[in-house]
Amino acid sequence: MSLVRRAVPEDAPEVLRLRQVMIDSVFAADGSRDWHTESLPTLRARLGEPDGDFAAFVVDHPERPGALAALVAGTLEYRIGKAGNPHGRIGFVFSVATDRDARRRGYARACMEELLQWFRERGAGQVDLTASAEAEPLYASLGFARQKDPLMRLKL
């Protein structure tokens, strides 16, 4: 039996907490959690859509009832097809996080494997993510490879 399960609306506060763990470990931590309150209703609604284009997989914390130990979230996007992905379905992984006291137990890998299976079942032709140097060995072991990234961003 897998420790991994699909997150449900009741998990939303813990999902946000673990997302903050990821944000704080990758970016300069400012400690701000003001956005959590505004984000919570939307996240709850998205977690309640079992057939939607968003999924989060989690592991319950083994020592803290009601807490999550690990999180992996992703979305399925459509882009016009191309060679190698004629149907244009692309998975995007984000918010991979494990509580510091629950690391090195295989939780992130197990969650990633579930999310990758979810993408496969929905016909994704590729899966993209951005990786920290610390996480790159995990992703490489799952078959991910570094790409040249011409990404640009406009904040609206």
Q: What is the pLDDT of residues 1-21, one digit of tens each?
A: 579 999 999 999 999 999 998
Tokens linked to 102: 């629950």
Residue 49 DSSP symbol: -
The predicted structure's pLDDT at residue 132:
83
User: Do residues 91 and 128 lie in contact, with contact meaning Cβ atoms separated by under 8 Å?
Assistant: yes
pTM: 0.90
59 has pLDDT over 90:
yes
The predicted structure's pLDDT at residue 28:
66
User: Do residues 20 and 70 lie in contact, with contact meaning Cβ atoms separated by under 8 Å?
Assistant: no
Beta-bridge partner residues of 101:
none
* Arithmetic mean of pLDDT, 134-138: 89
Higher-confidence position of 105 and 146? 105
Beta-bridge partner residues of 78:
89
In the chain, the domains with their CATH numbers are 4-141 (3.40.630.30)
Query: In this predicted structure, which of 80-84, 103-107, 129-133, 140-144 has the lowest mean pLDDT?
Result: 129-133
